[in-house]
Amino acid sequence: MLKAGTVVKVTGYADLYTPQGKIGFTVTDLNLEELLGDMARRRLALIAQLTAEHIIGEGAANKSRTLSPVSLRVGVVASAGTEGYADFRGQFDRSPYRFEVYLEQSLVQGEAAPPQIVRAIEKLGALGLDVICIVRGGGSKGDLSCFDDESVARAIAAAATPVWTGIGHTNDVSIADMAAHTMAITPTKLGETLVAQVREWHLARVVAPAQRIAERVQALLDQETAFLAERRRTMTFAVRDRLSGEQRHLRATGQRLALHADYLLANAATSLVSTRQLLAAYDPARRLAQGWALVQTASGAVVRSVEDVAIGGEVDVRLSDGKLRVTITNAERTTP
């Protein structure tokens, strides 16, 4: 912790050994609050400077990096075998998605850590991945001081790839977090967020459209099925109506014809009766009954004139109840 330039408050007393010409200083108290206060002051100064340079904060350079909507190629700066890395990696392994993880090993605590972290960020940055994750499990403030290192913040800002941090801490947000595109409070949370982001994309861009397609296909099939059923029904009814209409028309025509025929028959019957009556009036039998006689020659020809017969000839005289064979003895023409 103590380095050249570090300011600490030391309490003690000085001893002067005059015979030997030596001066001694006995430390009775070393005030670390001063030391921590100095570290905090330097940290604040660094934050102010990096903010002004848009390395960290709202306008941090890495925040403007475009994040792929499906970050599946993930670069990781971590120490393999640590709990933090296992927690982070576990999120991917339990998800249904195939994440490609490129691990770049690095110390994540101590003075040697910052250059390793910077190198790892640079190496992963060159691969053109979707995202770089800096992962470290929880630790004390001192353990995590490497993430307050200026060089780490600058490496994050310089990276063309979005850098996400999952550094477990309980108090302050590290400067690396401030420089990052996105920060999560733990490695687990970082893994969860990445998986959730992929899941969200998958649901919105794959699952939902697939469901919409399935629904629309079903709706279209239902609609066309209903269309065909309706047309089939309409067709059947229309044809049945048309045929029964035709049948009704035929029946009505038949009935009209029957009525007409009855009328014609009745007329014919009436006319037949009058004709029969008329004919009856001319019936020879009736005339014969009235006393008229019909004279016929032997050949059956009707005698209409005295000239039709010769004296001495024979004729048949037909009466109502028989006929007489008569010999002509005299013939006289009557004067009209």
Partner 1 sequence: MTISWNDAARELDAIVNSFDTDDVSVDELFMKLSRATELIEMLDARLIATKAQVEELSPRLARLTPDE
Which of 235, 268, 280, 324 binds partner 1 (CB under 8 A)? It is 235
Interface stretch with partner 1, choices 2-10, 218-226, 273-281, 304-312 (CB under 8 A): 218-226
Residue 243 C-beta: closest distance to partner 1, Å? 7
Using CB under 8 A as the binding rule, whether residue 253 contacts partner 1 is answered as: no
CB of 97 to partner 1, least distance (A): 8
Nearer to partner 1, 1 or 219 (CB): 219
Which residues are CB-contacts of 176 (< 8 A; sequence separation ≥ 6)?
Answer: 134, 147, 148, 149, 152, 153, 156, 165, 167
Q: Which of 31, 49, 151, 234 binds partner 1 (CB under 8 A)?
A: 234
Q: Using the rule CB under 8 A, which residue among 6, 52, 140, 231 binds partner 1? A: 231
Smallest separation, CB 252 to partner 1 (Å): 16
Instruction: Name every residue whose Cβ is closer than 8 Å to that of residue 135 and which is 6 or more positions away in sequence.
Output: 76, 77, 78, 84, 85, 88, 108, 165, 166, 167, 187, 190
Distance CA 164, CA 84 (A): 14
Task: Kindly give the pairing relationship between strand 322-327 and strand 314-319.
Answer: antiparallel
Pick the closer one to partner 1 by CB: 217 or 265. 217
Residue 326 phi, psi dihedral angles, 5° rounding: -120, 140
The vertex-274 CA angle with 273 and 276, nearest 5°, equals 65
Q: Is 172 a residue that touches partner 1 (CB under 8 A)?
A: no
Residues of this chain, 71-100, that bind partner 1 according to CB under 8 A: 95-96
Q: Does 219 contact partner 1 by CB under 8 A?
A: no
**Residue 110 per-residue DSSP state:** S
Distance CA 146, CA 112 (A): 8
Q: Kindly state whether residue 214 participates in binding partner 1, applying the rule CB under 8 A.
A: yes
> Nearer Cβ to partner 1, position 219 or 261?
219
Output the 3-class SS for 25-72: EEEEEEEHHHHHHHHHHHHHHHHHHHHHCCCCCCCCHHHHCCCCCCCC
In DSSP notation, 181-193 reads SEEESSHHHHHHH
- Regarding 228 and contact with partner 1 (CB under 8 A), the answer is yes
Give pairs for 19-26: CB < 8 Å, separation 24+. none
217 binds partner 1 (CB under 8 A): yes
319 is a site residue for partner 1 (CB under 8 A):
no
- Decide if residue 291 touches partner 1 (CB under 8 A): no
* Of the residues 102, 227, 263, 292, which one makes contact with partner 1 according to CB under 8 A: 227
CB of 217 to partner 1, least distance (A): 5
Residue closer to partner 1 by CB (options 220, 265) is: 220
Q: Torsions phi, psi of 70, nearest 5?
A: -130, 85
- 3-state class (DSSP) for residue 14: strand
Which token pair is 127? 């691969």
* Backbone φ, ψ for residue 58 (5° rounding): -55, -40
- DSSP assignment, residue 20? T
Among 23, 80, 160, 243, binds partner 1 (CB under 8 A): 243
Of residues 192 through 211, those in contact with partner 1 by CB under 8 A are: 199, 202-203, 206-207, 210-211
Q: Is 262 in the site for partner 1 (CB under 8 A)?
A: no
**Distance (Å, whole) CA 131 – CA 166:** 13
> Rounded to the nearest whole angstrom, what is the least distance from the CB of residue 31 to partner 1 in the complex?
54
- Per CB under 8 A, 221 contacts partner 1: yes
Binding-site ranges for partner 1 (CB under 8 A):
95-96, 199, 202-203, 206-207, 210-211, 213-214, 217-218, 221, 224-225, 227-228, 231-232, 234-235, 238-239, 241-243, 246
